[in-house]
Every structure is written in C-alpha cells, then in structure tokens.
Structure 1
Amino acid sequence: MINGILCFQHINLSNGANMIFMKFKAILGKRFWLLYMVVFTLPMYMRLNNYLLGAYIIVGLLHLFFRIKKINIRTLKAGWPIFGFFILGIMGSFYGTTFLNGFKLLEKYWAFLLLPLLMLTDKNEYSKRREDIFLSLVLGSAATLIICYGNLIYEMVSRNEPISYFFRWRHLGHQFTEIADTHPTYLGVFVVISIVFMFTSNKMGNAIKLPLILFFLFGLFQLASRIALFLAILFLMLLVFNRTKKQWALLVFLSLGIVVGILVFKKMGSKYVKDRLFTVESALNDKRFQRWDASYEIFKENPFFGVGFSQIESIRHDKYMEYGFEVAARQDLNAHNQFLEFLSRNGVVGGFVYVCSLGFLLLLSMYRRDYLFSLIFFVFIMANVSESMLVRIKGIEFFAIFATLFLCGFNQKTLEKE
C-alpha cells in the first residue's frame, strides 16, 4: 500500500516536472516574438528597446543551453564580419584603463558577440523568419513617425500655431523626433530600408505599400536628414535605371512622394529647412566635415591601435578646442564618420576590420544576388560617411541583427562549389 502511494506520488511529481519543463520550453519558443519586438522598437525609445533586447538575449541563451548538444559550432565561422567588431570593442575598452572601467565600456558591444551566436546556431529558423523581421522594422518605423507626428499636431494645437509652423525648425529634425527618444538620421535610415524592403516583399499588398511609401517619404522631409533623403532619391534613380516593370505602381508613388515633398517644403518650409535640404552650400559648409580633421589628427598621432575608448572623448575634446569647434567640444560629438571613428579609436587595425567586414558583406550579397541586402549594406555604408552608427547602441544592434540575418542564409559549402 505504502509503495503504491509512493509510486503514485512519484508519477505525479514526474508529470508535474514534465509539465513545468514543457511550459518552460514553450516560453523559450517565444524568442522570435521577442526579436520582433526588439526590431519593432529599434527606431524608437532606447530604454524600452534595451530592455527587450536584454530579455531576448537571456531567453535565447537559455534556448541555446538546452540544445547545446545539437549545435554545429562551425556555423559560427560565417559570423566573422560581426565578431570582428566585438574584438575591436575588447581592444578599445581595455586599452589604457582599469579592468572594471574597461568592462563597463564594453557593455554595448556585447551585441556583436551574442546576437550572431544566438542566430547563427539556429540559422535555418531565423532564415524562415526573414520577412517577418523586416516587417517588424517597417511597422516600428511607421509607429515612430506616427508618435512624432501626433506630438507635433498636439504641440501646434495647444500653442494655437498656424499651419505654416508645421515646417518650421521647431518641428523638424531633432525637435521632431525627441518625443520618441530617437535620432533623426537613424530613423531616416530605417525608413529608407523599410521602403527598399517593401519593393521586394510579396507579403504586403499595394493597398498597404502605397500609402506607407508616401507617409515614409513625407516623414523623411520632416526628419530633415540630408543623407536619408539622398539615399531615397538614389534608390529611385536605381529603379528608373533598371526600368522596373513589376513594381511600376510603387515606382510612380515613390517618384510622386519625392516630387510632392520637394514642392511642399519648398513652398511652405522655413528658411532653415530650405537652406538645409535644398542648397549645396549648406551641405558643403556642414561643420561635421571640418571636424574630420580632428579625428584624422588623433589617428596620425596613434596610428597602430588608436587611443582606446576611455581616452577618445577627452583627446577629441582637446582637438576640437584646438581647431575652434567649441560647440562640438561641449557636446562631446563623435567623428560623424565611421571609418575615421575606428581609425581614431582602434587605429589602422580598426579601419582594416571595418573596410573588410562591410566590403565582404556588400560583395557577398551582390555575388549571391541578394539585392535586398546589397541595397541595405550600401545604405548602411553611405550613412556611415556622415554618421558613426557602430558606436551607438541602435546602430550596433541594427547591424548585428540584419548582417547576421543575411549570413543565416549563407552556405559556405555551396559558395565553395560555385
């Protein structure tokens, strides 16, 4: 009798443990939804996005732990273009500082290691969800613009401003995106990539794509990001050059959106927006180009391994003051050029890794005729001419996720046979 009771209790305990384990596995299976939320919030609130990123990494690592015996470690070799930036992060973080401070400086660069680790060890599953991940970015970009425009309208109504104020400096650029805690150029890059994706996707019908394209293009003018607008126009020229026939409706709407945007902002925009977006002098006189000299001087003085992460701000501050860039010194502005950023932080080693990694990804995507990613890598490289996206968490996160997503569809053995 006692043995029977004990046996019954053992069965109940086993069933209970199995149920808990199955529920735990079901939670781990939700990691893709966490990733979708990470990408959705990528264009907006940084703190929320960081919390979601942390949750995704924790759940992903637990999932990795429970299937560790099934993992083919050789799949990680494909991730070298991303892992290389983590190595640069280690070099720069611990150079010329204490271990504790170096570990703190390394914090945001862990994404270069952990995201490829999670995705490449389960590459087939992530490849299947490629379009869903891109769709999350499209929806996130649209939601961010809606938040910004909602705040803009609220401010105009509460201040009883005339409609002409819609296009004044207080509702453009950084002032426009401040409510969503995001950078106008970064949001502009995400919007352009969203437009590029919509041209290649079959998941979204034209009834959704067409108004979204117009909304995104109008948003690009409101962001007042020259590089984002330039990339959108360049993409339009590429489509015209290729004589796209299947997507003629989208091509018409893209052209219409850019032309209408130019006419509206030319007619109703303030002097600030007209000078910023429509004059060559404004682009040529941008002080960020003049500040490049300061970063290049830092590189020349420390050519091999740079000055590291702990000293770069103080050294660059002194250089800015020496060159008379007092505003840049007060605001601790970075190089606003990713190549120069790596040269000054990590020396020639950093510049070499940057060129090799981005060049490899671009050339491989072209070789594999993955034109969506070819355009994405091109957009990213162009954006980094005037921005340093790989030293900001949003840029790091974007690159780590989407570059790894591209590599998830990359088969080394197939490439070798070709």
Structure 2
Amino acid sequence: MNISEKNINRIFNLFLFLIASMMIFRKPCTGLIILFATLNLLFIKKLKFTKKAISIGFIIAIPLLIEILFFWNNDSYFMGIKSIEKSISLLIFPLFILGNYQRVQFYKLLQFYSITTSGIVLFFFIRFIVFYPNMIDKYFLGIDLWEMGYAFSNSMGIHAPALNMHLSFVAIVNLYFIFDAFRQRKSAIIKSANFVIFSLSFFFVLFVNTRIALFNMLIGFVLVFYYEVIRKYKFKKVVGISAVGLVLLGSLFLLFLQKNPYMKEKYSSVTFAYMDKVGKLDAIKNPEIKVFNSFVTRVSIWKSAWELSLKNLPFGVGASDGKSELFKYYEQTNQHFLAKYEFPTHNQFLDFLLKYGFLGPMVVFLYVFTIGYLGFDIKNAIIIAFFFIFFTSNLTDDFLLRFDGIAFSGFWFSIFGSYWLQEKTIVYKEKLIL
C-alpha cells in the first residue's frame, strides 16, 4: 500500500486522538483499538524498535504475560481465556505505539484529549439534567447527595471511580495548558477558553465526588504548579500566580460545597466510621446504608483477601478464580454483607497476590512504578501526576481487572514511553553534536 509518510503520520495520530477521547466508553473504544491494530498490521514493516522501546513494551505487557504464564492455574480454561482477552490491549498498544514512537505528537494528543473529553462529559451532564430532572431536584434540595455522582456515572455507562480517575487526569492536563498558554503568551481568547475548559473539568470531578480522585487531582495540581511555575519563574511571580490560583480554585470549591453539604460529612464522619468493626460488618445495623462506601468496608475486604492469599501461596488461586474464591471465603468466614454484594479486592496489589502468589504484587509494582520512573527521569509533571493517580487508585481499587483501567493505563503508558524515547533521542543527538 503506497501511502506517504505524512499521511501515515496523520492517520496514526488521528487514531490515537480517537482512542484517547473514547476511552471512557468500552465498546466504541474497543472497536477503535481493533481498527488501530488492523491498520498497523498493514504497515508492520514501518515499525522500529530500539532496545529501550522493547524494555518498556515488555513492562507494559507484563500483566498480560503473567496471566499467560499462570494460565495452568485456572480451574476453568475458558474463563482463563476470557480473562486474557481483557488484557490484549496491553500487547497492542506497546507494539504499535512504541513501534511508531517517533510519530507520537505528545502535547497535541494531550490537548485534543483533554478538550474533547471535557466536551463529551459536558454533553452527558446536560443530558443528565434533561433526562433525570428528579435527580437534579434532589440535588438542589440536598436529598440523597451521596448517590448523585454514581447516578451520573451510571447514566454514561461507567463506574464512578473509573470515570473520576479519567476526569482527574483531564483536569490536571487542562491546568497544564493554562500555564502553557501564559508561557507562550497566547491570545486572551485562548487563555479564557483554557480556563473555562479547566473549570468544567474541575467541576466534574467534584460532581462525581469520589474521594481518591479528588485527592489525586489536588496532588496533580501541586505537581503541575511545581514543575511549570515554581521551577520556571522567579519568586514574586510564583507568589502572584499562587494567590490567583488559590482564589479561583477556592471559589469554585466553596461554591460547590454550598450546594453539596454532604461532602463535609462524607470526607469526615462517613469515611472513617465503625473502624472497630473490621471483619465484623454484619454486627452493624443496616450496613448497606451506614458503611457501603466507608473505609471500614475496604479494610474488611483487604483483610479477607490477605488471609485467603496466605492460604494459597506460592502460586495463588488463578486469574479467573480470584473473585469467586474471595466470595466463597466471605461465606466461610460468615461475612454475609460482603458475600451478598460480592465485593472484589479493591486493591490491585492484593488482587494479584491472591491470583498469582508472590510474583503478583511485584508485577503491579513494576508496571505502575515504571510510569513514575519515566516521568521523574524527564521531569514531566503530567506523567508524574498520571503515575500518582494510577498508583493511589489501585491502592483502593483494582483497575487492572477492568477495561477502563487496563486500556487507560496501557494506552497512556505507551504514549509516555514514546515521549520518553523522543526526549532521550534528542539528548543523544545533542551529545553527538557536542
């Protein structure tokens, strides 16, 4: 097929833009990933791998590789194959993105992704207002505020913590482009547009209102501010920008807090209630109402997963059997509330310990912390913020079990790896010139 390099670059980056923007929708994104892989197979001779690219690609694929390695440990081979199928993107992305790393337009991709995702979520927010007016009425009346974010996420067909993991990253990227617009002295119209988009993404994280995502977003803001302001401007300018930023963010936050007083309760008494009932949730009257989303429930799950993992060392229970074995253990230990709602591990390190034994947590550690290494090595705030988001999210959830965590991390890990390779190539060429 005779297509110019320029057109191949355009088609390649168009697919990256589309996949990134559709990442919160499983079926459309899966279709795009299949088309992306098919397209790249047509140009497979164009792939170029360095030793560093192969090393990064191996680490990205390692959650898939450990599933294949421990395939023999599944009780059902059919379910084992189904489990492997969910992780195929961890082979597709490093193969075809790192193999074309020189084509990746890092900052253009980020900007398109953050703007488009903010626009898509705005569309669904307007749709939510139109089609779920009863929920909006309850919101303004202060009734059942705890369910608002989950209802909105469900209307989009995605789990609230997963949606907010995406949105916190989008908000961080949008903040970066505000600073970038000022640094490049862009027009007032562009600066204003960047601020409006950022404000929307910040509001959406507050609206969905999951604790870890809000925490991650704020840490991400600090990282972007440190790398893009403190390290690049003089002290007086840093103080001025800090004051303006705190006033604007504080105003948005206080405005939201006035309309959602439950937030204060959620982040204090609700979160850490009944901590003396770890492993004994059935002793609480109406646990569905009182501790469904509380920290004590997470700790009770972790306690059970840890105990069951220790009983199945050194190789674990198998990739396809982790959930079912954990649910059985709830029943065996008379934890009927956990058994009724079939809570998964809610911790990726424990989940892999349960499935694969000793090797499992090491795989998660290598996968997640390599993202951090890439960011710290080239001092890139966006990559470091993503690492922090994905690391902390997997301490309280298990996103390498779900498409919205597997594809999300595998895609951006491959993009970050490509940008890291580009930066290393530039440094290498500069050294040769010197």
Task: Please confirm whether the aligned pair reaches a TM-score higher than 0.5, indicating the same fold.
Answer: yes
> What SS is found at the alignment partner of 1:106?
helix
Partner of 2:174: 198
Partner of 2:253: 258
Q: Give yes or no for contact 1:320–1:329 (8 Å, CA) kept in 2.
A: yes
> What SS is found at the alignment partner of 1:334?
coil
Report % sequence identity: 17
Aligned equivalents of 1:195 and 1:250: distance in 2?
Answer: 14
Q: Give yes or no for contact 1:42–1:137 (8 Å, CA) kept in 2.
A: no
The alpha-carbon distance between structure 1 residues 141 and 91, as it changes in their structure 2 partners (threshold 3 A), is: same
What one-letter code is carried by the residue in structure 2 that aligns with 1:192? Answer: S
Deviation at 1:256, TM superposition (A): 2.6
Equivalent position to 1:172, from 148, 163, 167: 148
What one-letter code is carried by the residue in structure 1 that aligns with 2:161? Answer: T
Aligned equivalents of 1:147 and 1:92: distance in 2?
Answer: 43
Equivalent position to 1:72, from 49, 54, 77: 49
Aligned equivalents of 1:240 and 1:409: distance in 2?
Answer: 21
Partner of 2:288: none
Equivalent position to 1:276, from 263, 266, 269: 266
Deviation at 1:406, TM superposition (A): 1.4
Equivalent position to 2:411, from 394, 401, 413: 401
Aligned equivalents of 1:34 and 1:156: distance in 2?
Answer: 33
Count of residues paired in the alignment: 386
Partner of 2:302: 292
Deviation at 1:339, TM superposition (A): 0.9
Deviation at 1:286, TM superposition (A): 4.1
1:215 aligns with 2:200: yes
Deviation at 1:359, TM superposition (A): 2.4
Deviation at 1:138, TM superposition (A): 1.4
The alpha-carbon distance between structure 1 residues 62 and 169, as it changes in their structure 2 partners (threshold 3 A), is: farther
Deviation at 1:105, TM superposition (A): 2.2
Q: List runs of 5+ in structure 1 lacking aligned partners.
A: 1-19
What one-letter code is carried by the residue in structure 1 that aligns with 2:260? Answer: F
Partner of 2:351: 341
> What SS is found at the alignment partner of 2:73?
coil
Q: Give yes or no for contact 1:199–1:247 (8 Å, CA) kept in 2.
A: no
> What SS is found at the alignment partner of 2:342?
coil
Partner of 2:276: none
Per-residue Cα deviation, 1:121-141 (whole angstroms, up to 9, x for no partner): 111111xx1123222431343
Partner of 1:39: 20
Aligned equivalents of 1:109 and 1:222: distance in 2?
Answer: 30
Larger Rg: 1
Equivalent position to 2:162, from 176, 186, 200: 186
Aligned equivalents of 1:367 and 1:176: distance in 2?
Answer: 38
1:355 aligns with 2:335: no
Deviation at 1:115, TM superposition (A): 0.5
Written as runs of structure 1 = structure 2, the 5 A alignment for 1:102-251 is: 102-126=80-104, 129-157=105-133, 161=137, 164-165=140-141, 168-169=144-145, 172-201=148-177, 202=180, 205-236=190-221, 242=230, 244=238, 248=242, 249-250=244-245
Q: List runs of 5+ in structure 2 lacking aligned partners.
A: 274-292
User: TM-score normalised to the size of structure 2?
Assistant: 0.78
The alignment's C-alpha RMSD in Å is 3.2
Q: Give yes or no for contact 1:147–1:179 (8 Å, CA) kept in 2.
A: no
> What SS is found at the alignment partner of 1:336?
coil
Partner of 1:6: none
Q: Give yes or no for contact 1:288–1:336 (8 Å, CA) kept in 2.
A: yes
Aligned equivalents of 1:231 and 1:151: distance in 2?
Answer: 27
What one-letter code is carried by the residue in structure 1 that aligns with 2:65? Answer: I
Aligned equivalents of 1:372 and 1:24: distance in 2?
Answer: 29
The alpha-carbon distance between structure 1 residues 100 and 233, as it changes in their structure 2 partners (threshold 3 A), is: closer
> What SS is found at the alignment partner of 1:42?
coil
Per-residue Cα deviation, 1:31-74 (whole angstroms, up to 9, x for no partner): 3212211110112x32122112222222122222x435xx3363
The alpha-carbon distance between structure 1 residues 392 and 172, as it changes in their structure 2 partners (threshold 3 A), is: same
The alpha-carbon distance between structure 1 residues 72 and 175, as it changes in their structure 2 partners (threshold 3 A), is: closer
Partner of 2:286: none
User: TM-score normalised to the size of structure 1?
Assistant: 0.81
Aligned equivalents of 1:141 and 1:326: distance in 2?
Answer: 40
Q: Give yes or no for contact 1:151–1:179 (8 Å, CA) kept in 2.
A: no
Per-residue Cα deviation, 1:218-245 (whole angstroms, up to 9, x for no partner): 2222212011112233345567785746
Aligned equivalents of 1:314 and 1:301: distance in 2?
Answer: 15
Per-residue Cα deviation, 1:346-376 (whole angstroms, up to 9, x for no partner): 1110111211332233134213212221111
Aligned equivalents of 1:99 and 1:112: distance in 2?
Answer: 20
> What SS is found at the alignment partner of 1:303?
coil
